[in-house]
């Protein structure tokens, strides 16, 4: 079995990057910068619907839904979206929400991430490719980018003469806050 060896200098870069991610996480800053796009999400979705073999209508409810999703940036599941829309006084049916989410994924505007027992959605259009750390205790998702991830994946594909069309990297584990809480609980259990 062939593995990728990380040199001392590259190992230091990885450790440094992970320390930066940890500091950013502790400060609450985990957002990645948006990418400039030529069309708004609403325009892009309308274009997608019109480009179907049988053109589909673009309804006012779909427009409200796209605007709502892209007005904020966080991971959400369908139930959270339904609750958020109710709070915002948007009366969009559950069926319309589920159908539109599916179309938004097909259109490349949002991405669906399967977490096992549930799926969450996030922006794909106008947002850089990135990876995720998922806390299995509290459900927190931390986004990160690192050039070495792309480099290593490209090397692996070359090694196996594999043509990649994309990837999703999801690392499961325990976040800093949950690790701290678990350590504190253990200390109290020992007393």
Q: Do 117 and 139 fall within a single domain? A: no
Print the domain residue range for 149: 129-191
In a domain, 179, yes or no: yes
State which of 76, 93, 127 marks the end of a domain: 127
- Asked whether residue 142 falls in the same domain as residue 96, the answer is no
DSSP assignment of 12-79: HHHHHHHHHHHHHHHTT--PPPPPP-SS-HHHHHHHHHHHSSS-----HHHHHHHHHHHTS---B-HH
- Model pLDDT for residues 152-176, shown as the tens digit of each residue: 999 999 999 999 988 888 999 999 9
Measure the CA dihedral 31/35/37/43, to 10°.
Answer: -20
Structure tokens at 189: 């259990």
Overall number of domains in the chain = 2
Q: What is the pLDDT of residues 59-95, one digit of tens each?
A: 999 999 999 999 988 899 999 999 999 998 888 999 9
Task: With beta carbons less than 8 A apart as the criterion, state whether 14 and 6 touch.
Answer: yes
Q: Are 144 and 131 in contact (CB under 8 A)?
A: yes
- pTM over 0.85, yes/no: no
Least confident of 35-39, 105-109, 138-142, 183-187: 183-187
Q: Considering the chain, what percentage of its residues have pLDDT values greater than 70? A: 79
């Amino acid at each position: 079995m062939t593995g990728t060896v990380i040199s001392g200098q590259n190992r230091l870069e990885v450790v440094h990057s992970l320390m930066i991610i940890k500091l950013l996480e502790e400060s609450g800053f985990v957002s990645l910068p948006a990418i400039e796009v030529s069309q708004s999400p609403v325009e892009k979705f309308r274009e997608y619907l019109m480009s179907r073999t049988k053109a589909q209508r673009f309804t006012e409810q779909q427009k409200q839904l796209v605007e709502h999703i892209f007005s904020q940036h966080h991971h959400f599941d369908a139930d959270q979206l339904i609750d958020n829309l109710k709070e915002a006084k948007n009366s969009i049916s559950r069926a319309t929400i589920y159908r539109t989410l599916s179309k938004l994924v097909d259109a490349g505007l949002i991405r669906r991430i399967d977490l096992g027992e549930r799926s969450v959605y996030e922006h794909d259009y106008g947002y850089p490719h990135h990876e995720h750390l998922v806390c299995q205790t509290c459900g927190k998702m931390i986004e990160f980018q690192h050039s070495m991830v792309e480099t290593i994946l490209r090397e692996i594909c070359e090694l196996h003469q594999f043509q990649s069309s994309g990837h999703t990297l999801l690392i499961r584990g325990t976040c800093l806050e949950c690790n701290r809480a678990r350590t504190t609980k253990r200390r109290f259990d020992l007393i």
